[in-house]
Structure 1
Amino acid sequence: MSKDIAIRGVAKTFPHKDGRFTALDDVSLDIGASEFVAIVGPSGCGKSTLLNIVAGLEQPTSGEARVGGDVVTGPGPDRGVIFQQFALFPWLTVRKNVEFGLRTAGVPKAQRRARAEHFIELVGLSRFADALPKTLSGGMKQRCAIARAYAVDPQILLMDEPFGALDSLTRVRLQEQLLQTWSQDQRTVMFITHDVDEAVFLANRVVVMAANPGRIVEIVDVDLPYPRTEDVRLGAQFAALRNRVWSAVHHQEGTPA
């Protein structure tokens, strides 16, 4: 069962040569259970910092993040995190990479093998289960990272620019595959991206952030039907939503485009 995310009055400051740098200032946001929310904004607006706070990898200077009603104090198995860097163990096969979290959790061998095989098949890597990461393309590596995150059965997926380093065609294919997988299990997803088209194509809602300091300036409901097909991506409603989000990102007062 998915969990909700509640962010309340979160601020985060870091030491800076001129004193303190405010990465986030009074950020509040609710993400419902099973909702897919994308966060966009210029570099330096605190998108990744906010995700890291929800992941438990950073602590807020003030305010709090809650997952399923519980205050986040550190990482937990209820949250799977996927970064732009694939973070695979190069000496382990695809199967062993996907099994890794299950093995550290003490899941019996036969059970973790079955779960790994299921999610490897789900992301279309069954033919490469015994391959090492160095033999895989960038898109295949990221699919392996997604399968590994899914295998430990998190209620929430936290994704920080997961497709940012991929070519355009691979990126589109993985967007479509991610939505197919999400439609099956309805996990809660918090997705960070610089790509407005990607945000609109994937999400139920798009959160637009501004920098200096990092804050939410607009939340756009994406009233597009699922499944999101190429026809949806090429339609007039998609274009209108994309233009609205694009305008919000690039015309923030005091924020350079």
Structure 2
Amino acid sequence: MTTTAPTTTTAKISVREVTKEFDLGKESFTALDRVSLDIADNEFVTVVGPSGCGKSTLMNILAGLEEPTDGEARVDDVVVTGPGPERGVIFQQYALFPWLTVRKNVEFGLRTAKVPKAERRERADHFIELVGLTQFADALPKMLSGGMRQRCAIARAYAVDPSILLMDEPFGALDALTRVNLQDQLQETWRQDQRTVMFITHDVDEAVYLANRVVVMAARPGRVYDVVDIDVPYPRTEEFRLSPEFADLRNRVWSSVYHQQGRTVADRDGA
């Protein structure tokens, strides 16, 4: 099955003029400056940018873990005021319970939501199979590799049926081969059981390979600098990674991220 970018124009996530300032005692630091961004239902958006550009701060605001100083973030046209079950969050650290098996970890959110035992087991096993961990359902996290632990974390996020996945450098601590394998696994999981995904990464190749759109942010203060459409159908394979088209897209994103040299968005657009 070939999957293309969503055709709907309805915004699942809407960020409007969001500014975030942090109090540093006698001074304040502006992490985000009037950031606006829409993400459509079932769209896969990656966010890249130099260190200090506010990528994680933006995700934390969407997750309800931080409040904006000004502006607002909306999910399904409802203002975000705190965490919610419709938003699953996956961080670089796996945050698995070491004393629980893979299945019990995946069931944890369902147990908290008081889902009946039989349904918990059925849903957990479905998502464990989806991420390729069926043979390890009864294993403890210490028996898993780093990549397998992250797949368990992804299954746990999916199991509570969020309509949105917020992923902050989920593969950042993994070796290159494991990272590439998990990119393919995530792509396939998203294609089978689509969610709206916002995926933060420092890796330009990863951003281009996974996304419908790549959002490039600029730092000091954090703002949207460029948006690059990746108009390539799914599934994407090694053939795409090695293609001239991939190289061209990668070079455009790389240039926006690493060759900003203090330019503003207006400078980029020739205003």
**TM-score interval, normalised by the smaller of the two chains:** over 0.9
**Distance in 2 (alpha carbons) for counterparts of 1:176 and 1:130:** 24
Report if the CA contact (8 A) 1:3-1:188 is conserved: no
Question: Does residue 234 of structure 2 align to residue 226 of structure 1?
Answer: yes
Shift of 1:184: 1.3
Q: Counterpart of 1:48 in 2: which secondary structure?
A: helix
For 1:30, the equivalent position in structure 2 comes to: 38
For 2:267, the equivalent position in structure 1 comes to: none
Shift of 1:225: 2.0
**What are the Cα deviations for residues 101-158 of structure 1, in whole angstroms up to 9, with x where unaligned?**
0000000000001100111111111111111111110000000000000000000000
**Distance in 2 (alpha carbons) for counterparts of 1:190 and 1:200:** 13
**Distance in 2 (alpha carbons) for counterparts of 1:73 and 1:242:** 36
Structure 2 CA distance for partners of 1:3 and 1:219, relative to 1, 3 Å: closer
For 1:177, the equivalent position in structure 2 comes to: 185
Question: Does residue 92 of structure 2 align to residue 88 of structure 1?
Answer: no
Shift of 1:175: 0.4
Report if the CA contact (8 A) 2:89-2:165 is conserved: yes
Q: How many residues align?
A: 254
**Distance in 2 (alpha carbons) for counterparts of 1:99 and 1:188:** 22
> Which residue type is aligned with residue 31 of structure 2?
A
Report if the CA contact (8 A) 1:224-1:238 is conserved: no
- Please report the TM-score for the alignment, with normalisation by the length of structure 2: 0.92
**Distance in 2 (alpha carbons) for counterparts of 1:186 and 1:133:** 26
List runs of 5+ in structure 1 lacking aligned partners.
Answer: none
Q: How does 1:147-162 map to 2 (within 5 A)?
A: 147-162=155-170
Question: Does residue 131 of structure 2 align to residue 129 of structure 1?
Answer: no
Report if the CA contact (8 A) 1:159-1:190 is conserved: yes
> Which residue type is aligned with residue 13 of structure 1?
E
**What are the Cα deviations for residues 150-190 of structure 1, in whole angstroms up to 9, with x where unaligned?**
00000000000000000111100110111111111221000
Shift of 1:229: 0.5
List runs of 5+ in structure 2 lacking aligned partners.
Answer: 1-9, 264-271
Deviates more, 1:68-77 or 1:177-186: 177-186
**Distance in 2 (alpha carbons) for counterparts of 1:65 and 1:138:** 33
Report if the CA contact (8 A) 1:3-1:34 is conserved: no
> Which residue type is aligned with residue 57 of structure 2?
T
Please report the RMSD computed on the Cα atoms of aligned residues, expressed in angstroms.
1.2
Shift of 1:3: 7.3
Q: Counterpart of 2:231 in 1: which secondary structure?
A: coil
Q: How does 1:38-77 map to 2 (within 5 A)?
A: 38-77=46-85
For 2:255, the equivalent position in structure 1 comes to: 247
**Distance in 1 (alpha carbons) for counterparts of 2:133 and 2:11:** 28
- Please report the TM-score for the alignment, with normalisation by the length of structure 1: 0.97
**What are the Cα deviations for residues 56-114 of structure 1, in whole angstroms up to 9, with x where unaligned?**
01110010000011100000000000000000001111000000000000000000011
Q: Counterpart of 1:4 in 2: which secondary structure?
A: strand
Moved segments of 4+, more than 2 Å: none
Report if the CA contact (8 A) 2:11-2:38 is conserved: no
